[in-house]
Structure 1
Amino acid sequence: MILILGALVFTNSCKAQKNSELPEKFFQRWKLDYGTANGKKIEGLPQSPNNDYEFKQNGEYLLYNEDNSFIIGTWEYNTDEKVIYTKRKDGEINGKITDLQSEHITLIPAGKASEGTRFKNFRFHYIPKTN
């Protein structure tokens, strides 16, 4: 029992250390500003709240729909690569945040979400959502 408790404390401690490397402003709601494909701006993308992301410190994110309902996924910060991987609820990687700034983030579709699809060369640029 003590061994299990120790493992849980260690795991939570490591997660907290990884989170501490991220700017505090990351843990907020982000709205889609614009997208690019092959370096060209994409026209006609859905407006907020559709495709808003909200990142929680517990390793979950909320991805909002047009009616403000949302799906829940998880995220994981890779300290070696300095990127955040987003995952569907089933654990499948579906995105990678490569440009993490306090005023903007860039999400690149990844895994099955992009392989062999038109999303392979897409970049989605987000800014903080202010009410």
Structure 2
Amino acid sequence: MNGLMRLDQMTVVVVEDDRSSRESLSMLLESEGARVVAAADAEEGVDAVLRTAPDAVVCDIDLPAMDGFYLIQRLRDDEIRNDRLPAVAVAITGHADETYRLRSIGEGFQHFMRKPAEPERLVTLLADAVGARAVG
């Protein structure tokens, strides 16, 4: 990228069932300074978000057993119960259908990105959104 660690001190949970996608997302975010906790499915992802109270979550929608909508509902419920600032949540999916974007926002994701995620766009989105969250 540009040599600056734009995600320094940020904890990001990445939930992606495709191993190579999960690893490349993790490496990208770590190269920008983020502490990444990676999960292969929604159940692992829920455990990770409840345990770490992350600054951000990058979550695939189509996951085995339980989908990304299940994860975001659990995260938002936990944030309300514990009076925590909401994590920035980015839904990622291979679906190009506008219905997925609308449902993602309605379920609690603030951002939606189609796969493959553009690295620069994802890092900028996370840096800006978490930065705004910290200020606001």
Q: TM-score, normalised by structure 1?
A: 0.29
Structure with the bigger percentage of helix: 2
Please say which structure displays the higher CA radius of gyration: 1
TM score, norm. by length of structure 2: 0.29
Higher strand proportion: 1
